[in-house]
Amino acid sequence: MSLFVNLRHLARHPIVLKGELSVAALDLETHDAMIQARLPLHHDLEVELLGDNLLVRGSLRLTLDCECVRCLKAFQHHLELNDWTCHLALKGEDKVPVVEDCVDLTAVIREDIFLAFPAHPVCDPRCAGLAGANAGLSEHKGSGLEELKPSAWTELDKLKFRK
């Protein structure tokens, strides 16, 4: 179910929209293995009519199931858009669609939620990544594993540039 606001109700006074919006209704298909939205979006919004415009203010909260890009550990990222504001035109070139005196806020919310997603989810800013992945190579002498390089940048670090 989408998040609709009826313009006739707004003609009298601002309205408050408080509740949850399912991931299916938001159509939050991330196509990203590191970020998944499975829990509903919590919203607490006030919508008011300002001439030929809608002003939507409030907060949006969504918990994302993430996988750290450094260590691959699963963790939850709490996305909070406090003091979220959206201005929607009802007339002109950039007007939002009005169907039977109702405006669907779902697409605008979805866009701002996507923009707030972490670009590279990290479980902790101090995460060292897969720290132990190359630590035990010296124990494997003769197995062929000692030939692995700890980093692709190791050879580049050896370059000497002259000025």
Would you list the DSSP string of 53-117?
Answer: EEEEEEEEEEEEEEE-TTT--EEEEEEEEEEEEEEEESSSTTPPPEETTEEE-HHHHHHHHHHHS
Domain locations in the chain as residue ranges: 4-116
User: What is the spatial distance between Cα 95 and Cα 48, in angstroms, rounded to a whole number?
Assistant: 16
CA torsion sign, 96 to 99 to 101 to 102? negative
pLDDT digits (tens, 9 = 90+) for 34-69: 999 999 999 999 999 998 999 999 999 999 999 999
pLDDT tens-place string over residues 7-39: 988 888 999 999 999 998 888 877 788 999 999
Helix (H, G, I), strand (E, B) or coil at 51: coil
Give me the mean pLDDT over the 91-97 stretch: 90
From 85, 72, 87, 78, select the one nearest 33 (Cα to Cα).
Answer: 72
pLDDT at 137 exceeding the cut of 50: no
> What does pTM read for this prediction?
0.73
